[in-house]
Amino acid sequence: MSVQASSVPVHKKKTWIIWWIIVFVLLVIAGAAAGIGMANIKGILDAQTFYWNVSVDGIDLTGMTKDQAMAIIGQARQADLDKIKLQLQYQDKSWGFDYKDIAASYDVEQQIEKAYAVGRQGNAIERLKEIYTVKQQGAAFHTTFTYDISLLKDDVEAIAKELEIKPVDATVKFTPNVSAANRFKFTEERIGRKMDVDKAMEALSAAVKNNRYEPIELVVNKVQPKVFVNDLKKATSLVAEFSTPLGNSTPDRVTNIRLASGAFNGEVVQPGEVFSINEATGERTRAKGYRDAKVFKEGGKVIEDDLAGGVCQVSSTLYNAVLMSGLEIVERYHHSRQTSYIDLGRDATISYGAADFKFKNNRKTPVFLERTVANGKLTVRIYGEPLPNGQRIAIRSEIYDVVPAPAPKMIVDKTLKPGEKVEEVVGTDGYRTRTYKIVYDKNGRRLSSTVITKDYYKPIQGVIRYNPEKPQPQPETDQ
């Protein structure tokens, strides 16, 4: 039962005094029973040492000063800290850390202060009561061990960086227009390695937690490259080859064809990459060696010499090789009229800054472009991974509708001789075409036939200039 002085009425002061006398007498009796004489009570309360049966970490501090306790407990815990020897190792390398690296410590001073406070709280009676109780029952305190393993993270990551070996992909060098033995040269891949930082941190933490400090073997994993030389070697076969005739091409036209096709000769198109023939050639200028040759103008109505004539044969030949390789067409336009070197529906016209031919490598491996200009023809070859299961792709086009050309436009031209006619624009019929991609298996059996383009070549109206006047009869002459 506790009594608060503020709640005691004035008329009960005598009762209060009597109560304290009783408590004091009981305390004296208890002190006597505990072997504490009256003369020593003041000395006990004023003592600068630990009271009976007070311990920290199992060490009895009875009669010790705080400094003595600090020395004994501090030395014991320091010995524990000195045992913390963390070691990481990998092959012939090792890295060590101690308690300072993880800010490990024991709260020795705090626990000693708590232990020293036993019997020193409250008034004299409360203090003596606690001293007596602790002497009988004991008061045990324990230091707390703290550390921060995350302080090693930077060091562990530095070790990981030291051990890391980045994987190196196998490479292939492509040289066009050489023998098959020298066309592709390979370099081997290199396997890398990477240390598992998380596992190292977990092992360090477990070592400290379990107070076990054997060397920790680092977990270092292999890192595989993305490209292996064996895969590259499987992806350098001839996938498709397509040729168009040079026919009666002038030397200047052949020069243009050599220049334009040479711009992509030896080109390697990576997976996912889009190839543009206009980007490959750049602007086709006289400074680059391009010459005048026949081109279509005014929607095919006019055929005349102009710079870089003949380059559309290059884009058309490449277009067909790309189709036969199963690559993705991104951009393609047909001519305004039929050309002499390829069937309708299979051509691809280009004009720098306007019409382009683009395709995307939709494979997981590179494709390699090669061209030759020889024996009266332009040939484009595409190397890479073979079509699946020995398949082959063929391209076929058909005309399914003919649109007759309008009657020619007649223009009177009195500058011509009487009765003379000049065909200024040759009229041509229009055509609607379908182009098919046909897939065959390795045994030549047709697996599928798909329409890939439908083109419309508009009819062209001819233009004829004439002088309607009749020629004057020539006078007869006597023989």
Rounded to the nearest 10°, the torsion over CA 415, 417, 421, 422 is -50
Do strands 54-56 and 139-141 pair parallel, antiparallel, or not at all (unpaired)?
parallel
Is 155 a member of any domain?
yes
Is 473 a member of any domain?
no
Q: Are residues 179 and 287 in the same domain?
A: no
Of the residues 204, 231, 258, which one is the last residue of a structural domain?
231
Q: Are residues 199 and 298 in the same domain?
A: no
- The confidence score (pLDDT) of residue 295 equals 76
Q: Are residues 250 and 350 in the same domain?
A: yes
Of the residues 145, 160, 195, which one is the last residue of a structural domain?
145
Of the residues 231, 263, 294, which one is the last residue of a structural domain?
231
Structural domain count of the chain: 3
Is 205 a member of any domain?
yes
3-state secondary structure of 424: strand
Is 29 a member of any domain?
no
Please give the Cα distance from 89 to 46 (Å, whole number): 57
Segments of the chain with pLDDT less than 50: 1-13, 16-17, 19-20, 23, 33-35, 479
CA gyration radius, the chain: 50
Range of the domain at 256: 235-466
- The confidence score (pLDDT) of residue 6 equals 37
Is 97 a member of any domain?
no
- Tens-place pLDDT, residues 325-359: 999 999 999 998 889 999 999 999 999 999 999 99
Is 43 a member of any domain?
yes
Question: Scanning the structure block, which residue is given the tokens 């400074």?
Answer: 287
Structure tokens, 260: 């334009």
Q: Are residues 215 and 275 in the same domain?
A: no
Q: Are residues 139 and 183 in the same domain?
A: no
Residue 165 has what DSSP assignment? B
Rounded to the nearest 10°, the torsion over CA 110, 112, 113, 114 is 90
Q: Are residues 118 and 189 in the same domain?
A: no
- Tens-place pLDDT, residues 189-228: 999 999 999 999 999 999 999 999 999 999 999 999 999 9
- The confidence score (pLDDT) of residue 41 equals 85
- Do 357 and 315 form a contact (C-beta atoms < 8 A)? yes
Structure tokens, 8: 């005691």
Q: Are residues 413 and 320 in the same domain?
A: yes
Q: Are residues 175 and 200 in the same domain?
A: yes
For residue 334, how many other CB atoms are within 10 A of its CB?
22
Helix (H) or strand (E) holding 135: helix 124-137
Alpha carbon 215 to its chain's center:
36
3-state secondary structure of 157: helix
- List all residues 6 or more positions away from 96 whose beta carbon is below 8 Å from its beta carbon: 85, 86, 87, 88
Question: What is the side-by-side order of every strand in the sheet holding 358-360?
Answer: 274-276, 358-360, 328-331
Q: Are residues 120 and 180 in the same domain?
A: no
Q: Are residues 377 and 241 in the same domain?
A: yes
Q: Are residues 57 and 72 in the same domain?
A: yes
Is 13 a member of any domain?
no
Q: Are residues 217 and 356 in the same domain?
A: no
Is 90 a member of any domain?
no
